[in-house]
Structure 1
Amino acid sequence: FPITAGRAARKTAGMPHRRPTGPASRLLPGIVALVALLLAGETCARDQGLPAARCGIEKYPEFLILEKEGKLAEKASLPMRQLGRREMKEQSLDPASTFKLALSLVLLQNGFDPGTAINVADPYIPNTPRSIDLSEALLYSSNDYFRLLAREKGPEFFRTGVNGLDYYAAPIGEDWLGPPSSSDDIVHGGNQRITPARQLLFMERILRQEIAGSATLLEQIRWPRSPEDEKVRPDISLFGKTGAFDQTVWFVGGMRNSDSYRVIVVVRRGHYKTRREAIRLFYCRMGQALPEHPLIPE
Structure 2
Amino acid sequence: MFQFSEGRNSALGRYLLFQLSFLFFLTPLHSQKLSPKTVTPNPEELILITEVSSGKSKTEKVYGASEFLKREYSPASTFKTYLVLSLLENNIIDPKEKIESADKHIPNSPRLLDLRDALFYSSNDYFEKVFPKLGKEKLDLTLRKIGYLENSKSNSKLADWWIDLAGLKHGGRIRLTPKSVHSSWSKIFENGYGLNKDLMEEWKKALFWSKCQEREANVYGKTGSWEGSFWFQGALIRSENDYVIYTILNRSKSGSRTGTITRFYRLAGCKVPSLE
Aligned to 1:261: 243
- 1:50 and 2:30 correspond: no
Q: Tell me how far 1:175 sits from its aligned partner.
A: 2.9
What does residue 210 of structure 2 align with? 224
Letter in 2 for 1:127: N
| 2:231 counterpart (236, 250, 269) | 250
Q: Which residue number in structure 2 is paired with residue 96 of structure 1?
A: 76
Does the 8 Å contact 1:249/1:271 carry over to 2? no
Q: 1:271 to 1:135 in 2, by over 3 A?
A: farther
Q: What displacement does 1:152 show?
A: 2.9
* CA separation of 1:126 and 1:277: change in aligned 2, threshold 3 A: closer
**AA partner of residue 186 (structure 2):** E
Equivalent in the alignment of 1:280? 262
Q: Alignment length, in residue pairs? A: 237
1:202 aligns with 2:184: yes
Identical-pair percentage: 29
Deviations 1:134-190 (A, max 9, x none): 101001100011112222322222122222221122565323223xxx322112111
Kindly state the Cα deviation for residue 72 of structure 1 after the two structures are TM-superposed: 7.5
Q: Look up the SS of the partner of 1:250 in the other structure.
A: strand
Q: Could you report, residue by residue, the CA deviation over 1:7-48 in whole angstroms, capped at 9, with x for unpaired residues?
A: xxxxxxxxxxxxxxxxxxxxxxxxxxxxxxxxxxxxxxxx97
The corresponding residue for 1:173 is: 158
- TM-score, normalization by structure 2: 0.77
The DSSP-based 3-state class of the residue aligned with 1:242 is strand
Corresponding residue of 2:85: 105
> Which residue matches 1:187?
169
Question: C-alpha deviations, 1:236-258, integer Å up to 9, x for none?
Answer: 11111111011111001211112
Q: 2:65 aligns with which of 85, 101, 105?
A: 85
Shift of 1:268: 2.0
Task: For residue 130 of structure 1, report the CA deviation from its aligned partner.
Answer: 3.0
Determine the C-alpha separation between the residues in 2 that align with 1:134 and 1:172.
30
Structure 2 distance, partners of 1:261, 1:172, is 34
Quick one: distance in 2 between partners of 1:292 and 1:70?
Answer: 25
Specify the code of the residue in structure 1 equivalent to 2:210. Answer: P
2:187 and 2:220 map into 1 onto residues whose CA distance is 13
Written as runs of structure 1 = structure 2, the 5 A alignment for 1:5-20 is none
- 1:243 counterpart SS class: strand
Q: Which portions of structure 1, spanning 4 or more consecutive aligned residues, are displaced by more than 6 angstroms?
A: none
Look up the match of 1:239: 220
Structure 1 residue 208, shift from structure 2 partner: 2.0
Q: TM-score, normalised by structure 1?
A: 0.72
Give the distance between the partners of 1:176 and 1:219, measured in 2 at CA. 28
Partners of 2:253 and 2:205 lie apart in 1 by: 29
CA pair 73-202 structure 1, distance change in 2 beyond 3 A: farther
Q: Give the 3-state SS of the residue equivalent to 1:66 in structure 2.
A: strand
Superposition pairs for residues 140-155 of structure 1, below 5 Å?
Answer: 140-155=121-136
- AA in 2 matched with 1:263: I
Structure 1 223/54 Cα, relative in aligned 2: closer, same or farther at 3 Å? farther
The change in CA–CA distance for 1:130 and 1:275 in structure 2 (over 3 A counts) is: closer
Q: Distance in 2 between matches of 1:255 and 1:266?
A: 14
Deviations 1:72-97 (A, max 9, x none): 788x522x211110111232100000
User: Which runs of 5 or more residues in structure 2 are unaligned?
Assistant: 1-29
Q: SS at the partner of 2:58? A: coil
Structure number with bigger Rg: 1
Letter in 1 for 2:48: L
Aligned to 2:21: none
**Could you tell me which residue of structure 2 aligns to residue 63 of structure 1?**
45
Once residues 103 and 97 of structure 1 are traced to their aligned partners in structure 2, the CA distance between those partners, rounded to angstroms, is: 10
CA distance in 2, matches of 1:252, 1:266: 6
Whole-Å separation in 2 of the counterparts to 1:214 and 1:73? 24
SS in 2 for 1:125: coil
